[in-house]
Amino acid sequence: MINASLRNGSLRSEAAARGIPVITYEAGEALRFDPIAIAAGVQGVENVMRKLRMMRGKRVRKQAEPVIASATSWIRAETDGIIRAQVSLGERVRQGQVLAYINSPLGDTECAVVAPRSGIVIGQQTLPLVNEGDAVFHLAYFAHANSIVEQQLETFIDEISDMDDELKTAELNN
Q: Over the stretch 41-63, which tens digit does the pLDDT of each residue have?
A: 888 888 888 888 888 887 666 66
pLDDT tens per residue, range 22-36: 888 888 777 778 888
Q: How many CA atoms lie less than 13 Å away from 13 in the CB half-sphere?
A: 6
Of 39, 36, 129, 33, the closest CA to residue 89 belongs to 36
- Cα gap 152→160, rounded to integer Å: 12
pLDDT attached to residue 45: 85
pTM comes to 0.68
Residue 137: name the closest of 170, 79, 89 by CA: 89
Architecture of the domain made up of 71-141: Beta Barrel (2.40)
Cβ–Cβ under 8 Å, residues 128 and 82: yes
CA distance 163 to 98: 34
Q: Coil, helix or strand for 119?
A: strand
Residues of the chain with CATH 2.40.50.100: 71-141
Share of the chain residues as helix, strand and coil, in percent rounded to the nearest 5: 30, 25, 45
At 17, which helix (H) or strand (E)? helix 11-17
First to last CA, the chain: 36
For the ranges 57-71, 81-95, 156-170, which has the lowest average pLDDT? 156-170
